[in-house]
Copies of this chain bind each other. A is one copy, B any other.
């Protein structure tokens, strides 16, 4: 039996790179895990307990999701600038399913798809299944390179642009206000859908929050994805997708075909949670904790990194980008030097479809315990120095 053509690309996406072999001594800067100390365990227990008193929570519901929760999330997004209502918001299995369903809605094999380079590994894994023709728009300090994007749009048929405008995965960069407006103008001009992935939006540690790209959408061509994974708990598998009616009708049909619906039980529990707690205060607490961790990480990196490595300076989110000297193969370095030194990152190789980012890596400051960050960075810096010498010696 031969598998479908789409499978090869998905199996090779490198998702397993996120899970390095178990090593109790390892300090990992790899997986984009939230700090487990920040899960509001007690409040979620109470909310779940309350949800479970209702027998309807155990039955089938519908593919759209639990309407009170959709209304709550829509209100949260409205406060964030997106004029929407629960009617235009559908619940997904994390933002990952939103990526999958939007790609499924839009992409025939060979259709043009622009991604940032580097970009989120899991998005590429989802996109690969739809066999797009990829184009890379390089990341800059203020977001996607729109000059490069325009060149792509003028010379190729493009169906969709995928962007993480806020605290981008993996660079931590924020797309500037001017670029947000210009991105929508380009999408309008070239009749392209923008998939805006916003799991880190509520995690800004300094500076001014910019409106979502969706706010500038004049023609219903921006799909916004949100998620509770980074700001509440990933095991809730609770994301949301905001889109205009025609797109939404398509997404809802695809959602039903994919897994019927998301868990009504989880949705009711999250709805209970949101109505019982001061969620903005919870977010403020997250920001405080992650800001401290980021500061420790940046200080340590600035102090210890070899001179030929640079890092980005994220104002929020979970990640920063470590850029090594030209010619460095971070994947080999990880295997040969970092892992034996009990430290890990996500090597850049699989973070762009053309494998153009081989000498960089994604580092997270969110997951490791705060006391592990400086020792981990010291190990990392020592290993990088050693590895760079080995690489040069070849």
Residues of A whose CB lies within 8 Å of any CB of B are 1, 3-7, 10-11, 13, 15, 19, 31, 33-34, 36, 39, 41, 44-45, 48-49, 52, 55-63, 92-94, 96-97, 100, 104-108, 111, 122, 125-126, 128-130, 159, 191-193, 221, 229, 233-237, 249-250, 253-254, 256-266
Q: Closest CB of chain B to A243's CB: distance in Å?
A: 11
Q: How many chain copies? A: 2
Chain A to chain B contacts (Cβ below 8 Å), 11 pairs? A1-B193, A13-B253, A13-B257, A15-B253, A36-B55, A58-B235, A60-B235, A93-B93, A96-B260, A237-B261, A237-B262
Contact of A257 among B129, B260, B262 (CB under 8 A): B129
Residues of chain B lying within 8 A (CB to CB) of residue A15? 63, 253, 256-257
Q: A11 — which chain B residues lie within 8 A by C-beta? A: 249-250, 253
> Which among A6, A45, A237 has the greatest number of chain B C-beta atoms within 10 A?
A237
Given A128-B257, A129-B257, A262-B237, is A39 in contact with B10 using a C-beta cutoff of 8 Å?
A: no
Query: What CA separation (Å) do A193 and B3 show in the bound complex?
Result: 10
User: Does A257 contact B125, Cβ atoms closer than 8 Å?
Assistant: yes
Is there contact, CB below 8 Å, between A7 and B235? no
Report how far A202 CA is from B276 CA in the complex, Å.
40
A58 touches which of B44, B52, B100, B259 (Cβ 8 Å): B44
Q: Which of A4, A34, A236 has the most CB of B within 10 A?
A: A4
8 cross-chain pairs, A with B, having the tightest CB-CB distances, nearest first: A93-B259, A125-B257, A235-B264, A58-B233, A39-B58, A235-B265, A11-B253, A97-B259
Q: Given that A4-B107, A4-B108, A106-B3 are known contacts, is A235 also in contact with B61, CB under 8 Å in the complex?
A: yes
Q: Given A11-B249, A39-B55, A254-B129, do A260 and B122 touch, yes or no (CB 8 Å)?
A: yes
A33→B62 CA distance, assembly (Å): 12
Q: What is the distance, in angstroms, from A185's C-beta to the closest C-beta of chain B?
A: 16
Contacts of A265 in B (CB 8 A): 233, 235-236, 266
Nearest neighbor of A128 in chain B, beta-carbon distance: B257
Do residues A263 and B250 form an inter-chain contact, with CB atoms below 8 A?
no
- Contact of A105 (CB < 8 Å), options: B3, B58, B191: B3
Also in contact, A59 and B36, with CB within 8 A (given A104-B4, A107-B4, A126-B257) = yes
Complex contact B266–A10 (CB within 8 A): no
> Which of B4, B159, B191, B257 is in CB contact (< 8 Å) with A10?
B257
Question: Known: A96-B258, A263-B236. Is A253-B106 also a contact (CB below 8 A)?
Answer: no
B100 touches A129 (CB 8 A): no
| A60 to B49 CA separation, bound complex (whole angstroms) | 22
- A48, A122, A221, A256: which has the most chain B beta carbons within 10 Å? A256
Q: What chain B residues lie within 8 Å of A10 (beta carbons)?
A: 253-254, 257
The answer to whether A52 touches B59, judged by C-beta atoms less than 8 angstroms apart, is no
Question: Counting chain B CB atoms within 10 Å of each CB, which of A44, A234, A250 scores highest?
Answer: A234
Selected from B19, B94, B104, the residue in CB contact (under 8 A) with A129 is: B104
Instruction: State which of B36, B45, B63, B266 has its C-beta within 8 Å of the C-beta of A263.
Output: B266
For the complex formed, measure the closest distance between the CB of A244 and the CB atoms of chain B, giving whole angstroms.
10
In the complex, residue of chain B having the shortest beta-carbon distance to the beta carbon of A55: B36
Decide yes or no: A258 and B97 within 8 Å by CB, A48-B52, A52-B44 being known contacts. Answer: yes
Expressed in whole angstroms, the minimum distance between the Cβ of A260 and any Cβ of chain B is: 5
| Cα–Cα, bound, A250→B7 (Å) | 7
Q: Which residue of B lies closest to A12 (CB)?
A: B253
Whether B235 lies near A263 (C-beta < 8 A) is: yes
Distance between A31 CB and nearest chain B CB, rounded to angstroms: 7
- 12 more A-B contacts (CB under 8 A) besides A4-B106, A94-B260? A1-B193, A13-B253, A39-B59, A44-B58, A45-B52, A57-B235, A58-B233, A60-B234, A92-B259, A125-B256, A236-B263, A259-B259
